[in-house]
Amino acid sequence: MADKVERIKCLIIGSGPAGYTAAIYAARADMKPVMYTGMEPGGQLTTTTEVDNFPGYPEGIDGPTMMIQLQQQAERFGTQVRIGMVTSVDFSEEQGGIHKVVVDNTTNIEAETIIIATGATAKYLGLPSEQRLRGGGVSACAVCDGFFYKGQDVAIVGGGDTAAEEATYLSNICNKVTMLVRKGEMRASKAMQHRVENTPNLDVRYFSEIDEVLGEQVVEGIRMVNNQTGEKEVVPVTGLFIAIGHKPNTDIFKGQLEMDETGYIITKGKSTKTSKPGVFACGDVQDKEYRQAITAAGTGCMSALDAERYLATIESNEEVEA
């Protein structure tokens, strides 16, 4: 490891709408933020072709372009955006304490405040055909992309509350929704199951899994297999939605911050404060309910304001002691 230690007032870990919004607000507050983007600069939106539901873009915008523009806006106010991966952290327990971070196993940083915006990663089935057609009809967010399949036939994979909710959402805008549930029953709550069962254009297939996603450039159908009988069936669809869950990118923070049973960082009340003073979390890393770009941006703003107020309190206390 390098011996030199860099001291930073505000360190932002992760990019995407949450991280970049936090950077914009922190930079305008003269906190001189430094951002490390992680392995996927721009986050999940860099794999999204069209963003149609973010305010301010009447014609829509593609995800990568939007992230570039957010980065440029953050940099315009003085944010240092660096490519790099935080590999370990040591958060102080003390109010006003200094947090220690290592980047790429070599760069040592000490930060007065830290904003975590590492996001969450959607779980996929792992099929080569599925990965090839991501952005070509395969999506992990029905609320984000369902509109593009208005009046068409689509399929959704999953049996939990999220899958049931997204399936019924799609049923309102699509012609037909085929829902594939791996087991003989859904994991969703009874209320959600009843809603699915009472939706006429929603066809639930139990003991069913995806064998292959069909199509070269775009999704043209799915070949599903009954995991009890081995029988295969081709269903023509133009969109496939994967709703089998998300994994928050919080592994390096385990043992440092309070998390729920699935690894999402717990924040206090309506704030972005974590269990450690001076450490804040925003976006999908602490939000498993909404998972939208606009809500991530909102909490990014909140985290910068929380960090600014935290620093003001620390500086005020130091002046009193002096």
Active site members: 141, 144-145
Q: Is 51 exposed, middle or buried (0-12, 13-18, 19+ CB in 10 A)?
A: buried
Sign of the CA dihedral running 303, 275, 87, 100 = positive
Supply angle C-alpha 145, 138, 118, rounded to 5. 75
Q: Please report, for the chain, how many H helices and E strands are present, in that order.
A: 7, 17
Contact 115, 12 (CB under 8 A): yes
Q: How many CA atoms lie within 13 A of 114 on its CB side?
A: 28
Question: Rounded CA gap, 119 and 267, in Å?
Answer: 14
d(CA 23, CA 120): 19
Residue in the structure block whose two tokens are 């107020």: 309
Strand, helix or coil at 85? coil
Q: How far is CA 175 from CA 4, 159, 239, in A?
A: 61, 21, 12
Rounded CA gap, 90 and 192, in Å?
42
Residue 97 is classified by DSSP as P
74: left (phi over 0), alpha (psi -120 to 50) or beta: alpha
Tell me phi and psi for residue 144, to 5 degrees.
-75, -45
Length of the chain: 322
Q: Which of 52, 290, 53, 287 is nearest to 166 (CA)?
A: 290
Using the 8-state DSSP alphabet, how is residue 232 labeled? Answer: E
